[in-house]
Homo-oligomer: A and B are copies of this chain.
Amino acid sequence: MDFKTWINEKIKNVEVYLSSATGAKDNPQALIYEAMNYSLLSGGKRLRPVLLLAAYELFRNDEDTALPFACAMEMIHTYSLIHDDLPAMDNDDYRRGRLSNHKKFGEAAAILAGDGLLNKAFETGLKAAINGGTDYEKALRALYEIAKSSGSEGMIGGQVVDMFGHEKISSLEDLKYMYSLKTGAIIKSSVAAGAMLGGANDEQVAAIEEFAEKIGLAFQIEDDILDVTGTLEKLGKATGSDAANHKTTYLTYVSVEEARRQAEILTDEATKRLDIFGEKAFYLKELARYLTSRDH
C-alpha cells in the first residue's frame, strides 16, 4: 500500500470512530455534545491519532485495539485548541476555516466543551483499557504517558509559558523548552503510547521517543515558517499572527532558510532512529516526512 492510501485509510478510521465517540444523546445537556462535536469533527489533520496508530503498527496489526487511545489524543488536542482560542487566551475567531468554538457557542459553552473533551479522552481510554484487547498494565502505562504529556508537566505547562513567560524566553534553548511542552509532549506521547500498547520494550520505547522529540520540534519549526509564508486559504486561520503578537518564534533566532534546513536535519535524524524496526517503520518514516514538509 502506498503512503497516501495508507494515511487516508487511517484518517478514515479515526473519523468513523470520532463521529460517535462523544456518545451524543438527545438529553437535556445535548448542547455539550453539539459543542464538543463541532470542533472534534471539523476535519483536523488527525496527526496525533495517526502517529499513535503508526507506532502501534510497528508491533501489532489489530488496529481496533489502539483506535480508542488514538482518538483520545485527538480529543485532547481538540480541547486544547478550543481553550487556546478563548478571548482570555489567544482570542481567535477562526479555526480550521470556520468560527472558533466560542464564537459559535459562546464562551461558557466553549469552556465546558473543552472540559468535556479532555474528560472524554480519559473516559474513552479507560473504557478501552477495561474492554480492550491489550493487557491492563500496558493500557495503564500508555494512559499515564498521555496524562503526563497533556498536563502541567506537558502541554498545559507549555501553554502557560507561551501565555505568560514570553519575556523570559531569551534563547533558542528556552524556546525549544516551551515547544517541547506545548506541542512536543503530546506528539511524543502519541507514539510512545502506541508503542507501549503494542508491547514495545524499554529500548524500543526510547528509540521511538527520540524519534518523536525530533519530529515534534521539526513540526513546530514548520509551523513557525508557515505562519510567515502560509496563506489564510491553506491554513484556515490567520497568518502573520506571531509577528502581530510580537511572539518569539524559531524565526526570531534563525532565517527561514536556516529553519527549514534544521527541520530537515531533525527529520533525517528522527527517521534514522527507526532503522531498528526495519521495513515495518516505512509508514512511520513517511509520516515524519509528511508532517515536516506540509503546506497547511
Contacts and interface: CB of A to CB of B under 8 A. Distances in A.
A105 to B, nearest CB: 9
Interface residues of A, number: 59
Interface in A68-93: 79, 83, 86, 88-89
Contact of A108 (B89, B136, B150): B89
B144 A127 contact: yes
A271 interface: no
Contacts of A115: 79, 83, 114-115, 118, 156
Contacts of A141: 130
Interface in A107-147: 107-109, 111-112, 114-116, 118-120, 122-123, 126-127, 129-130, 136-137, 139-141, 143-144, 147
Contact of A126 (B83, B119, B147): B147
Contacts of A29: 152, 156-158, 160-161, 165, 181
Given A127-B144, A139-B140, A161-B28, A120 B88 contact: no
A157 B123 CA distance: 14
A151 B119 contact: yes
Interface stretch (A31-39, A43-51, A206-214, A239-247): A31-39
A88 B116 contact: no
A100 to B, nearest CB: 14
Number of copies of this chain in the oligomer? 2
B28 A119 contact: no
A181 B25 CA distance: 15
A119 B152 contact: yes
A90 to B, nearest CB: 9
A123 B151 contact: yes
Nearest to A22: B152
Interface of A: 22-23, 27-29, 31-33, 36, 79, 83, 86, 88-89, 106-109, 111-112, 114-116, 118-120, 122-123, 126-127, 129-130, 136-137, 139-141, 143-144, 147-148, 150-153, 156-161, 163-165, 168, 174, 177-178, 181
Given A109-B163, A115-B156, A130-B144, 14 more contacts: A22-B152, A23-B153, A31-B165, A32-B156, A88-B111, A89-B111, A109-B160, A112-B163, A115-B115, A118-B118, A119-B150, A120-B152, A126-B143, A126-B147
